[in-house]
Amino acid sequence: MDLRSTYTYGLAILFILCPGLAEMRDLSVGNTYTYAGDGRYVWTVFLKETPAILSEIRCVEYTLHPTFPNPVRRVCKSERGFPLSASGWGEFTLFLKIEWQDNHVTRQSYKLDLHSKIEKATLRKQVTSIRTGNVSKYLGDGRWSWTVFIVAEQAALDKIRCVVYTLHPTFPQPVQQVCERGETPNQAFALSATGWGTFDVGVKILFRDGRATFLNHTLKFGKE
């Protein structure tokens, strides 16, 4: 057993023999979550402590973000660490009031995590799978009609809130935002326009969780 393992084991034994010492530190808190689509998450927050320490607690009062209905919620079932489940769109700080069996009260906070390493890795994978494309049609007299759009799998498209396209500065309103996915297969968040020549279109993808990523698309004429 190495030094770190010895320390961790010894600390656990100390809290088992003297559970009142847990009140001298912040308890370990964690949460799980599942992405429910449309930017919404279902989550559960709970205490990550030993049964010996949990047995010393009578109830946990959670104070959520004030936008929640009934933001102050009390849990008195110790199974699985006094869990509280809810759903919402973003991360925020919860405040915990821990009521101990001996009538002492301790307070601490916890930042809800909806973007763990696994979720971030998944998001990175989905972002790298997002591509741009365009179709075009010759109108005559050197003029083309064209449509630029996003190509991605359904799971990645579900995370996109809007797409901001930056056109050539000669266009009236060169910056245009599209928030409708549309119904044309493989042409999501499409923007259509007409013009004479090709150029690079700036593409800013806004995700529902507040993140953003930037792409560049060079218009190509002559292919449907």
Residue 120, pLDDT above cutoff 60? no
Yes or no: say if 61 and 99 are a contact pair by the CB < 8 Å rule: yes
User: At 94, which amino acid appears?
Assistant: L
Rounded CA separation 152/164 (Å)? 16
The reply to whether 3-114 and 129-218 are identical in fold is yes
pLDDT tens digit sequence for 52-83: 999 999 999 999 999 899 999 999 999 999 99
pLDDT at 125 over 70: no
Domain parsing of the chain, residue ranges: 3-114, 129-218
State the CB neighbour count (10 A cutoff) for residue 70: 7
Any residues with CB less than 8 A from the CB of 92 and at least 6 apart, and which? 64, 65, 111, 112
103-111 LR contacts (CB < 8 Å, sep 24+): 104/23, 106/23, 106/27, 108/26, 108/27, 108/29, 110/29, 110/31, 110/45
In the chain, what percentage of residues exceed pLDDT 70?
A: 82
- pLDDT score recorded for residue 222: 84
Q: Stretch 28-57: mean pLDDT, rounded?
A: 91
**pLDDT of 4 higher than 90:** no
What residues contact residue 20 under an 8 Å CB cut-off, 6+ apart?
56, 102
Q: What is the mean pLDDT of residues 38-50?
A: 90
Instruction: Give the integer Cα–Cα distance in Å for 175 and 203.
Output: 10
What fold is seen in the domain 3-114? Immunoglobulin-like (2.60.40)
Token digits for 5? Answer: 């393992």
Q: What is the pLDDT of residues 141-152, one digit of tens each?
A: 999 999 999 999
pLDDT at 14: 45
Q: Output the average pLDDT for the chain.
A: 85
191-213, pLDDT tens digit by residue?
A: 999 999 999 999 999 988 878 88
Per-residue pLDDT band at 16 (split at 50, 70, 90): very low
**CATH code for the part of the protein at 129-218:** 2.60.40.1970
Which residue type occupies 49?
E
Give yes or no for residue 119 having a pLDDT over 50.
yes
Condensed to tens digits (0 to 9), the pLDDT of residues 82-91 reads 999 999 888 8
Instruction: Over range 167-178, report the average pLDDT.
Output: 94
